[in-house]
């Protein structure tokens, strides 16, 4: 009886020690909440949520500063994914940040483009190809449809259209 | 692999699959009928997995039988397309093409003359077995040959697996009820099939060829055996597989014969095997033996809605309506058209679609064949579908997940490995159309993947841009620092002079040139 109690006490103490040491020595999981939230966002980097990109928005959600329904390009799917990650109820998109819609891409009207190269700097994913005094063009497959190039253009030659490249890829499949 | 030579003993029945009542009798008893050219041929440019062929004819051109009308691009699994008979090109335009998508495809429309004048560019090879393997593969691509079992995979690509191929399996199993095109081919032209097999063995540098036929194809088995005996090539033997469905699926057949399973995402040559449909092999023989590229194929026209069910050798591009007319026309019972068999085929909206290289069967179904008029009931979790599934999936589980749909779970449960054979539909006591749900879910899974891929690429580019901007900024400040240090190193500037200089720079106005 006494021996048994002593043995249990000893075991408890030893295992406790192991846990304490390992908690101090082994670093915590490198994947943070922000990483996981960031991974479900659409990475259009459009900034419509009010933050400078997807990752800052993820950080703001993690810090409790932003709500989960501020991402128009992600739509309901992203809201549901975020709500599952956070264990919160899903809610409707806050339309003051913009409306959800089909995937879009930017198109440069090459007849109007003056080659000022300003949209090149505005594009968060380097999807516009061009050089000063040469007409620019959008790499359709890389454009996320963030629309950040539109206000940058001094001659308003950039418009957006529905992105059909996904459908084409499917047909080729 | 097979030890000893040809045996007439069927392989044992596996645990999966279903036994189906054969409905081949109507078509298989007769000879292969050759159909004359129709009034118009619609030859699609994309009749292969991969990129379409590039047209090299214009409306108004006269073409000869077997003349290339579109060439294979050098990338993306392209294969050439040829004029099925002599005539005049009347159009190069989008036409409706049979396919699960139901869309159109760019096609060369030819109005045949009755001369059947042959193109002189291709001639019979006196000694095809003397050609080098790369030459054989080139010729097969040039001849427009793709997998005629319906997959349309370029045949030459399958003959280029590198080394280590232990066996070439010729698939003559044709397990769908109703279809008997390969059966008819084996009965009438086994010698041709074996010639093609010899050419393929040469291309693969392989010493064993197994001709797989089904236990209930007595006449075809006899014909194959006779041809093997006549040829006396001991590399070629016959293997008999039990009569069940889907014994003729590529992976299923390989598993039956070799006992090896082709892994998910893998290819037959991972287990040292290449599998070719017998019709494809015969097409190879026709090109090397007679100088005729792939311009026709055997199609089973059958079902209760057609007058005289038969196997018809028909030119690629023949409108299906003309083909049915040739096979005795529609009966009063005709209620719908299906391309392919009842298990894996798909219904056609009308009969003005052309025969393509994928068309192995046209089923003119009556009302009973078309619609068993039973209502779908809830899944009772009986597990019959899991027993029948040849890909060893759990269809009942997949069905539940497809309702969500929970794509991550569907993927981990192996939805992509579904071969859409329809066994689960067939055994389901609740008449649930599982396969069509899975086809839909696969589509969703594919779209989901695309979105994820795009998002990942965008993130990658965004991060790369961030790093670039950071680097540019760092370089700039480094350069500034270097210049400051340089001035400092000169050491001769006294503090007061430097202050005055700075003052002057500050007071300088933009545009001031002094």
Show me where the domains of chain A are located.
27-97, 104-172
What distance in Å separates residue B99's CA from the closest CA in chain A?
Answer: 11
What distance in Å separates residue A104's CA from the closest CA in chain B?
Answer: 13
Asked if B37-302 and B374-514 have one fold, the answer is no
Q: Are strands B209-214 and B167-171 parallel, antiparallel or unpaired?
A: parallel
What distance in Å separates residue B212's CA from the closest CA in chain A?
Answer: 30
Nearest CA to B106 out of B115, B117, B95 is that of B95
Q: A126, B101: Cβ pair inside 8 Å?
A: no
Side-chain half-sphere exposure of A5, counting CA atoms within 13 A: 2
Residue identified by tokens 């005049």 is B88
Using a CB-CB distance cutoff of 8 angstroms, which residues of chain B are in contact with residue A163?
A: none
- Rounded to an integer, what is the distance from CA B384 to the centroid of its chain? 29
- What is the complex's ipTM, to 2 decimals? 0.78
CB B418 within 8 A of CB B250: no
Mutual angle of helices B218-231 and B181-204, in 10-degree steps: 30
Using a CB-CB distance cutoff of 8 angstroms, which residues of chain B are in contact with residue A169?
A: 450
Give the CA distances from residue B40 to residues B118, B320, B329, in Å, rounded to whole numbers and listed in that order: 18, 11, 18
For residue A161, count other CB atoms closer than 10 A to its CB: 12
- Distance (Å, whole) CA B24 – CA B173: 13
Q: Among B101, B443, B458, whose Cβ lies nearest the Cβ of A44? A: B458
Q: Among B447, B456, B462, whose Cβ lies nearest the Cβ of A53? A: B462
Name the CATH superfamily, with its identifier, for domain B37-302.
Answer: NADH-ubiquinone oxidoreductase 51kDa subunit (3.40.50.11540)
Q: B465, A125: Cβ pair inside 8 Å?
A: yes
- Distance (Å, whole) CA B317 – CA B301: 16
- For residue B377, what are the contacts with CB-CB under 8 A and spacing of at least 6? B430, B431, B432
Q: B456, A169: Cβ pair inside 8 Å?
A: no
- Distance (Å, whole) CA B17 – CA B245: 5
Using a CB-CB distance cutoff of 8 angstroms, which residues of chain A are in contact with residue B103?
A: 171
Please provide the average confidence, as pLDDT, over all residues in chain A: 86
Chain B residue with minimum CA distance to A41: B455
Residues facing B33 on adjacent strands:
B312
Question: Consecutive 10-residue runs of chain B (514 residues): their mean pLDDT?
Answer: 53 84 68 93 90 92 95 84 95 85 84 91 90 92 91 88 86 90 93 94 92 91 94 92 90 92 87 94 94 95 90 95 94 90 87 93 86 79 93 94 88 92 92 91 88 88 92 93 79 72 74 48
Q: A173, B458: Cβ pair inside 8 Å?
A: no
Chain B residue with minimum CA distance to A53: B462
Which residues from B are below 8 Å from A when comparing CB atoms? 101, 103, 443, 446-447, 450-451, 454-459, 461-462, 464-465
pLDDT at A28: 65
Look up the pTM and report it: 0.77
- Distance (Å, whole) CA B207 – CA B161: 15
Q: B456, A173: Cβ pair inside 8 Å?
A: no
Phi, psi of B298 (to 5 degrees): -90, 130
What distance in Å separates residue B461's CA from the closest CA in chain A?
Answer: 5
pLDDT tens-digit readout, A78-131: 998 899 888 888 888 988 888 888 888 899 998 999 999 899 989 999 999 988
Show me where the domains of chain B are located.
37-302, 310-370, 374-514
Using a CB-CB distance cutoff of 8 angstroms, which residues of chain B are in contact with residue A144?
A: 454, 458
pLDDT at B8: 64
Query: SS3 sequence, B32-94?
Result: EEECCCCCCEEEECCCCCCCCCEECCCCCCEECECCEEEECCCCCCCCCEECCCCEEEEEEEE
Give the CA distances from residue B393 to residues B399, B412, B416, in Å, rounded to whole numbers and listed in that order: 11, 11, 10
Name the CATH superfamily, with its identifier, for domain A27-97.
Answer: Electron transport complex subunit B, putative Fe-S cluster (1.10.15.40)
Residue A145 forms contact with B (CB below 8 Å): no
- Distance (Å, whole) CA A50 – CA A53: 9
pLDDT at A171: 41
- How many Cβ pairs within 8 Å bridge chains A and B? 42
**What is the architecture, at CATH level 2, of domain A104-172?**
2-Layer Sandwich (3.30)
Tokens at residue B55, please? 């047209």
CATH class of the structural domain B374-514: mainly alpha
pLDDT at A140: 87
């Amino acid at each position: 009886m006494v021996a048994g109690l002593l043995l249990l006490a000893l075991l408890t103490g030893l295992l406790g020690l192991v846990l304490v040491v390992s908690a101090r020595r082994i670093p915590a999981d490198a994947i943070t909440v922000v990483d996981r939230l960031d991974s479900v966002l659409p990475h259009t980097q459009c900034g419509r949520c009010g933050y400078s990109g997807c990752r800052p928005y993820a950080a703001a959600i993690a810090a409790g500063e932003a709500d989960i329904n501020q991402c128009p390009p992600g739509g309901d799917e992203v809201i549901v994914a975020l709500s599952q990650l956070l264990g919160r109820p899903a809610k409707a998109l806050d339309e003051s940040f913009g409306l959800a819609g089909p995937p879009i891409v930017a198109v440069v009207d090459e007849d109007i483009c003056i080659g000022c190269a300003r949209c090149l700097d505005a594009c968060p994913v380097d999807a516009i190809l061009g050089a000063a005094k040469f007409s620019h063009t959008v790499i359709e497959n890389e454009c996320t449809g963030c629309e950040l190039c539109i206000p940058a253009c001094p001659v308003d030659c950039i418009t957006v259209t529905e992105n059909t490249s996904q459908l084409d890829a499917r047909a080729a499949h | 692999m097979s030890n000893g030579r040809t045996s007439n003993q069927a392989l044992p029945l596996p645990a999966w699959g279903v036994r189906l009542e054969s409905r081949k009798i109507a078509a298989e008893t007769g000879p292969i009928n050759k159909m004359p050219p129709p009034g118009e041929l619609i030859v699609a440019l994309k009749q292969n997995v991969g990129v379409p062929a590039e047209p090299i004819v214009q409306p108004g051109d006269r073409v000869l039988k077997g003349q290339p009308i579109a060439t294979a691009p050098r990338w993306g699994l392209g294969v050439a397309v040829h004029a099925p008979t002599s005539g005049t090109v009347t159009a190069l335009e989008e036409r409706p093409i049979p396919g699960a998508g139901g869309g159109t495809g760019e096609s060369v429309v030819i109005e045949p003359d009755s001369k059947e004048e042959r193109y002189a560019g291709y001639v019979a090879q006196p000694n095809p077995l003397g050609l080098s393997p790369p030459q054989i593969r080139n010729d097969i691509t040039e001849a427009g040959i793709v997998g005629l079992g319906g997959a349309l995979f370029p045949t030459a690509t399958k003959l280029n697996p590198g080394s280590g191929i232990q066996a070439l399996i010729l698939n003559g199993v044709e397990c769908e009820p109703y279809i008997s095109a390969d059966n008819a081919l084996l009965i009438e032209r086994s010698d041709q099939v074996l010639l093609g097999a010899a050419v393929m063995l040469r291309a693969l540098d392989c010493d064993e060829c197994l001709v797989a036929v089904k236990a209930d194809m007595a006449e075809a088995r006899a014909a194959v055996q006779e041809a093997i005996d006549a040829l006396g090539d001991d590399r070629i033997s016959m293997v008999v597989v039990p009569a069940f469905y889907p014994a003729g699926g590529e992976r299923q057949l390989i598993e039956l014969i070799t006992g090896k399973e082709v892994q998910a995402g893998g290819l037959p040559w991972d287990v040292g095997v290449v599998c070719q449909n017998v019709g494809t092999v015969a097409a190879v023989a026709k090109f090397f033996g007679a100088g005729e590229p792939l311009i026709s194929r055997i199609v089973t026209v059958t079902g209760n809605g057609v007058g005289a069910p038969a196997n018809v050798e028909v030119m690629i591009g023949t409108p299906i309506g003309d083909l049915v007319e040739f096979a005795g026309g529609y009966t009063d019972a005709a209620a719908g058209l299906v391309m392919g068999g009842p298990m894996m085929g798909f219904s056609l909206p009308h009969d003005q679609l052309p025969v393509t290289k994928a068309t192995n069967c046209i089923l003119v179904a009556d009302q009973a064949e078309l619609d068993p008029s039973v209502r779908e009931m809830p899944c009772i979790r009986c597990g019959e579908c899991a027993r029948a599934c040849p890909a060893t999936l759990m269809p009942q589980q997949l069905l539940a997940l497809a309702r969500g749909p929970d794509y991550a779970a569907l993927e981990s449960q192996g939805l992509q490995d579904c071969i859409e054979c329809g066994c689960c539909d067939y055994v389901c006591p609740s008449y649930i159309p599982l396969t069509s749900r899975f086809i839909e879910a696969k589509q969703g899974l594919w779209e989901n993947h695309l979105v994820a891929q795009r998002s990942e690429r965008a993130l990658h580019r965004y991060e790369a841009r961030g790093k670039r901007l950071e680097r540019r900024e760092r370089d700039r400040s480094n350069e500034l620092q270097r210049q400051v240090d340089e001035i400092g190193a000169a050491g001769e500037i006294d503090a007061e002079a430097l202050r005055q200089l700075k003052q002057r720079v500050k007071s300088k106005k933009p545009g001031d040139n002094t």
